[in-house]
Structure 1
Amino acid sequence: MSSYYDDQEFTGINYTQQPFKKGEYDNCTFMECNFENLHLSNSTFLECTFINCNLTNVKFGGTSLNQVLFDGCKLLGADFSVCNIFMLGLRFRESVLNLSNFTALPLKKTTFLHCPMAEVDFTNADLSEAVFTECLLTGSTFEQTRLLKADFTTAIDYKIDPTKNMLKGAIFSKNNLSGLLQSTGIIIK
């Protein structure tokens, strides 16, 4: 039987040392909790906030994340591609997302604010109208990705091939155009 939690705050819990109760969490806050290598599979998080939590290598198989904010979290190697896509809604602020996977996810209007995102996989994702504010995208993969009206104005170190992605209306800074032209062999000085 699943547990139900509503409007609760969970602070400083190390779930690697005590069990995490799978269930439905509605409008809950997790602050400074450790979920490293934990299976959050088949749990539901609705309008929840994770603040300064360690979610390194967390397993999200079948997990529902609806209007969830990750603020100051460590999400190294998190595989979001196996989340339940029904009503998926994510926001990230000052969270480390290196080596994470967002393959084939509907991420329209997702915001990434001040997030290091090295080696992140966005293959086949829909990032229409997403905003990447001061995000470091070194080695991240954009292939067959919908980036319609996405905002990369302040994003850094991205490489996006315009022939392999949908970019209509996407916004880029003229100072970072090399990330769009690298695949063409054009040299910019």
Structure 2
Amino acid sequence: MGTRTIRRTSVALPSLEDQPGMYLSNVASLEGGRGRVAQFHYGDAALRTLDLADTHLMDGRITGLKTQRARLEKLRVDSVEFTGCDLASLHWSDSKVSRTVFHSCKLMGSTLEDITLDNVLFENCKLDYSTLTGIRATGPVIVSQCSLRETTFAAADLSAALLDDCDLRLTEFNGGKYIGMDLRGNNLSQLRGLASLKQVTIDRAQTLQMAEALAAELDVTYGDDLDDK
């Protein structure tokens, strides 16, 4: 099983090539018999709607999937790779995701609620304008080179998460637990909700960025600006 490591955080990747005799069969749908789809490849589908509930996706690849509206509920996702997917108007809730990679996916404007993440990698993805509520990282999570502009994390537990080289312009943290979350390698100057980010990990050089973000959040007035008037 391969891993992806950034600094002190390592994520276990899907083991699709590591299991002897595994063959991924092409499937025409993600709705499997008895609510289970295993050892599969689902690719290049363009759907008006995707409604999926009470399903276990295991050992598979989903590539180039595009939807106009997606609603996912009570899913279990184990050892799956999502690549180049565009899930518009995504609403995903009450699910558990483990050993899973999202690579170059568009999840803009998504609503993610009560999802447990364990060994999950988001890489080069767009999650702008999304709302993530009650997201729990029970194992390592890496978010690398992703865009999170104006994304809101509410009541999340991301203590086991690392964000690296991400666009965090107007990203907001609204309550939750983030102790130990690694924010090194990002520009933090436009974060919102800094009061929620107690005991996160940053570089000393980022202290000025957080001070800039706090000043903007408090809407302070600088005396030298007054003097120039």
Question: Could you say which TM-score interval applies, normalised by the shorter chain?
Answer: 0.7 to 0.9
Q: Counterparts of 2:127 and 2:80 in 1: how far apart (Å)?
A: 19
**Structure 1 segment 86-125 matched on structure 2, within 5 A:** 87=138, 90-125=141-176
Is residue 31 of structure 1 aligned with residue 83 of structure 2? yes
Superimposed CA distance per residue, residues 7-26 of structure 1 (whole angstroms, 9 cap, x where no aligned partner): 11111111337x66652110
Q: Secondary structure at the match of 1:104?
A: strand
Distance 1:98 1:29, change over 3 A: same
Q: How many pairs does the alignment contain? A: 168
Superimposed CA distance per residue, residues 26-69 of structure 1 (whole angstroms, 9 cap, x where no aligned partner): 01110000112112223332221100000101121233333321
Compute the displacement of 1:102 (Å): 1.5
Is residue 70 of structure 1 aligned with residue 122 of structure 2? yes
**Which AA in structure 1 matches 2:114?**
G
**Which AA in structure 1 matches 2:192?**
T
Superimposed CA distance per residue, residues 55-93 of structure 1 (whole angstroms, 9 cap, x where no aligned partner): 10112123333332110000002211243x373753200
2:68 matched to which residue of 1? 16
Identity of aligned residues (%): 17
Considering fraction of residues, name the structure with more strand: 2
Q: Secondary structure at the match of 2:85?
A: coil
Q: Counterparts of 2:193 and 2:87 in 1: how far apart (Å)?
A: 28
Superimposed CA distance per residue, residues 90-116 of structure 1 (whole angstroms, 9 cap, x where no aligned partner): 320000011111233222142111001
Larger radius of gyration: 2
Q: Which runs of 5+ in 2 are unaligned?
A: 1-34, 36-53, 224-229
1:134 matched to which residue of 2? 185
Q: Secondary structure at the match of 2:133?
A: helix
TM-score if structure 1 supplies the norm length? Answer: 0.73
Q: Counterparts of 1:26 and 1:121 in 2: how far apart (Å)?
A: 29
TM-score if structure 2 supplies the norm length? Answer: 0.61
